[in-house]
A = this chain, B = another copy of it.
Amino acid sequence: MVEKREKSWQAGPLRIRVTLPGDEPAGPKERLTVDRIVDAAMSLMAEKGYDAVSMRSLAKELGTGPASLYAHVASKEEVDQLVLDRIGAELHVPAPDADHWDEQLRQVLRDMLALYRRHPGSARAAIGMIPTGMGALRTMEGMLAICDAGGISPQASAWFCDLAAAYVSAIAVEEAIWVQRDNTTASGDDPDHTALDEQLRALMESLPAAEFPLVTSRAGVMTAGDGDDRFEFGVAVLVAGLAAVSEKYR
C-alpha cells in the first residue's frame, strides 16, 4: 500500500532529505536511525510547535510505534538534547577583533537569538539544559577568545558565557510561548502581540496612582518597544556590565 516515498542521500558532508508534500506518514521500510528521529523532531517542532513533539507523534511521523524509538534514544530528553546539539552547530563565532570586541560579543548574542527564532520551538527544549554539544563548546571557545581580545578577565569571561546563554534562552522561551499562544488563540489572523502590550498598559494605567505613582505615569515607557528593542537593550546592558565588573573578578 505504501511505497518508499522518502528519498535521502549523502552528498559530501551534507545529509539531504527530501519529503514531498503529502508524504507525511513516510515510507515504513526506511530504517530508523537517530538522525531520522532528530530530523522528524525538528520538522514537527517547526511546523506545529514544541508541544506537538511527543514520542508518539514522532513515531507516527516515522511510520512506526513509540516503542521503536527506544532502540535508538534513551528518552524524550535525549531527543531534545540532540535537537539542541544540531542547532547549536549552526552558530559561528567570528575571529576576535580587539577594536570591536564589544560589538562582536553583542552580535554573538543576537545570532544566538536568531538561531532559536529560525527553529521555532527549540527554545522550549533548551529549558534547564546544559549545552554540551560540540557546537556549544565551539561557541564558548569563540566567546572566550573575543573576551580575551577585549581584555576581560578569565573568570568574568567564563561566567559571562553562562550568563549570556541564560539570558538569551530566557528571552527565546518567552517569545516561543507567545508565538504558541498566538497560533492557538487567534487563528493566524495577525501576529501582533501589541494587543497584549496594550492590555498590560491599560492595566498599569488603571492602578491607584497614590500607591503606584511610577507604574501608572510610566505605563507607556514600560510597554514601549518590540522584542528586538528590548533584546538590544539587554545585550547592551550585559556587555557594558561585563566591561565594568571584569576587574573585580580577576
Give the contacts of A175-212 with B (CB-CB under 8 A): 176-178, 196, 200, 203-204, 207, 211-212
Partner of A177, one of B128, B154, B157: B128
With CB as the reference atom, state the residue of chain B lying closest to A159: B233
A contact residues, total (Cβ < 8 Å): 61
The interface stretch among A2-10, A38-46, A112-120, A139-147 is: A139-147
- Are the C-beta atoms of A245 and B237 separated by less than 8 Å? yes
With CB as the reference atom, state the residue of chain B lying closest to A236: B245
- Are the C-beta atoms of B240 and A148 separated by less than 8 Å? no
Q: Is A91 part of the binding interface, using a Cβ–Cβ cutoff of 8 Å? A: no
User: Chain A interface secondary structure, helix, strand, loop or mixed?
Assistant: helix
Q: Is A224 part of the binding interface, using a Cβ–Cβ cutoff of 8 Å? A: yes
Instruction: Return A194 CB to nearest CB of chain B, in Å.
Output: 14
Q: Is A75 part of the binding interface, using a Cβ–Cβ cutoff of 8 Å? A: no
Q: Is A89 part of the binding interface, using a Cβ–Cβ cutoff of 8 Å? A: no
- Are the C-beta atoms of A222 and B167 separated by less than 8 Å? no
**Given contacts A159-B233, A167-B167, is CB(A140)–CB(B173) below 8 Å?**
no
Complex CA gap A163/B224 in Å reads 14
Complex CA gap A212/B243 in Å reads 24
Complex CA gap A239/B163 in Å reads 14
Give the contacts of A122-180 with B (CB-CB under 8 A): 127-128, 130, 132, 137-138, 140-141, 144-145, 148, 154-163, 166-167, 169-171, 173-174, 176-178
Could you tell me which A residues sit within 8 Å of B by CB distance? Answer: 127-128, 130, 132, 137-138, 140-141, 144-145, 148, 154-163, 166-167, 169-171, 173-174, 176-178, 196, 200, 203-204, 207, 211-215, 218, 221-222, 224-225, 230, 233-234, 236-245, 248-249
Q: What are 7 A-B pairs with beta-carbon distances under 8 A? A: A127-B177, A128-B177, A159-B225, A161-B222, A163-B167, A170-B170, A239-B241
